[in-house]
């Protein structure tokens, strides 16, 4: 099955198209008939056909011969029915929201063709919907791929750009812009579907950042082999969170405060150092991050993914490093701009 935006059905358009074509055919037939039978000009013949089909009751353009009168009866019998059928069907389409619906689907297709730097979320269940909610709060673009029609409708009603399709199909992933995507999240209900989705995404984009959801340890291993950069087990994370909350509630409260997207006072963010940034090849002390931006460097992830926690002031910042920093959201934005440009 080809991927489609929810509700993009062709059958709904066939009725109106046929009705309009039928009405145009009757008008053309009537115009040609008056021209041949009565010898009228094209305009007179067209005008006579229109007033006959619409039954407006105007006078005849010219005197009609007996053949012309018989032809007028034929135009009335065929044209009035075609006109009523066409106008009724078009009115029904408008009343039922057909035209607005088609405009909305056209807009969604346009968005799919132009969206970039987005995340592809496979599955809109309990996990997928919460991921989408977080992205929505932080204004991060994303596309939902979901096979279940009811879940897909829920995603659309929440304002998401969504496609009804199988996330493991390569043509589907191309349709949702995997070539322009920032990341891929496999959060379908079963481990097997997530493995296939991750594998398909990795084949199409070897450089894409991929996160997979796993229910079991075996699935975790298979997802990593399929190409996932990170594998998350909701049950394991939930259990660890509950244990940490019981043992260290103040620490958990602080982490939640720092990572909450709605917090306007404090935030934790990762910031990548561009190769042409003036922060590259300088120490934390020389970069003067604390005084200039009011942020605290919690850690540095090197290009080899090795993490250095609580780095010393003399530690060098290199191009490609990711700084894990803590500070006010506006300060983090200024630092991100500085890190991305020279």
- pLDDT tens readout for residues 89-115: 777 766 665 566 666 777 778 888 889
- pLDDT tens readout for residues 130-140: 999 989 988 89
- pLDDT tens readout for residues 255-298: 777 777 666 677 888 899 988 888 888 998 898 888 888 898 99
CATH 3.30.70.1450 domain range(s) in the chain: 264-340
CA angle 152, 103, 166 (to 5 degrees): 30
Architecture of the structural domain at 115-237: 3-Layer(aba) Sandwich (3.40)
Phi, then psi, of 326 in degrees rounded to 5: -125, 130
CA 63 to chain CA centroid, Å, is 62
CATH T-level fold of 264-340? Alpha-Beta Plaits (3.30.70)
CATH class of 4-95: mainly alpha
- pLDDT tens readout for residues 52-77: 888 776 777 788 888 888 888 888 88
CATH 1.10.287.70 domain range(s) in the chain: 4-95
CATH 3.40.50.720 domain range(s) in the chain: 115-237
Task: Give CA–CA dist 64/44, Å, rounded.
Answer: 12
- pLDDT tens readout for residues 23-61: 889 889 989 998 999 889 899 889 888 888 887 767 777
Sheet order of strands, 296-301 included = 267-272, 322-327, 296-301, 307-309
pLDDT at residue 21, rounded to an integer: 84
Helices (H), the chain: 11-38, 42-53, 66-95, 98-114, 126-137, 149-157, 170-175, 191-204, 217-226, 234-247, 249-259, 284-287, 289-293, 329-340
pLDDT at residue 132, rounded to an integer: 94
pLDDT exceeds 80 at position 253: yes
């Amino acid at each position: 099955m080809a991927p489609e935006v929810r509700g993009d059905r062709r059958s709904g358009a066939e009725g109106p198209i046929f009705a309009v074509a039928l009405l145009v055919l009757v008008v053309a037939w009537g115009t040609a008939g008056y021209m041949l039978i009565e010898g009228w000009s094209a305009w007179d013949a067209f005008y006579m056909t229109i007033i006959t089909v619409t039954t407006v009751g105007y006078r005849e353009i010219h005197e009609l011969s007996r053949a012309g009168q018989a032809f007028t009866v034929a135009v009335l019998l065929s044209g009035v029915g075609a006109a009523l059928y066409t106008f009724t069907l078009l009115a029904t389409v408008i009343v039922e929201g057909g035209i607005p619906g088609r405009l909305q689907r056209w807009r969604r297709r346009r968005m799919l063709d132009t969206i970039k730097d987005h995340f592809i979320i496979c599955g809109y269940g309990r996990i997928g919907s919460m991921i989408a909610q977080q992205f929505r709060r932080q204004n991060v673009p994303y596309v939902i791929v979901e096979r279940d029609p009811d879940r897909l409708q829920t995603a659309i009603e929440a304002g998401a750009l969504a496609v009804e399709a199988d996330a493991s199909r390569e043509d589907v992933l191309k349709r949702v812009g995997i070539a322009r995507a920032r990341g891929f999240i496999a959060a379908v209900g079963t481990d097997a579907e997530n493995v296939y989705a991750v594998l398909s995404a990795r084949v199409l984009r070897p450089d894409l950042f991929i996160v997979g959801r796993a229910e079991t340890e075996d699935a975790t291993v298979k997802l990593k082999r399929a190409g996932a950069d990170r594998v998350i087990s909701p049950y394991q994370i939930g259990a660890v969170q509950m244990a940490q909350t019981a043992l260290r509630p103040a620490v958990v409260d602080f982490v939640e405060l720092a990572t909450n997207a709605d917090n306007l006072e404090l935030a934790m963010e990762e910031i990548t150092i561009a190769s042409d940034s003036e922060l590259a090849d300088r120490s934390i002390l020389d970069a003067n991050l604390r005084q200039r931006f009011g942020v605290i460097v919690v850690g540095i992830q090197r290009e080899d993914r090795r993490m250095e926690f609580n780095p010393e002031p003399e530690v060098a910042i290199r191009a490609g490093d990711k700084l894990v920093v803590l500070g006010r959201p506006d300060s983090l934005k200024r630092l991100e701009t500085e890190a991305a440009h020279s």
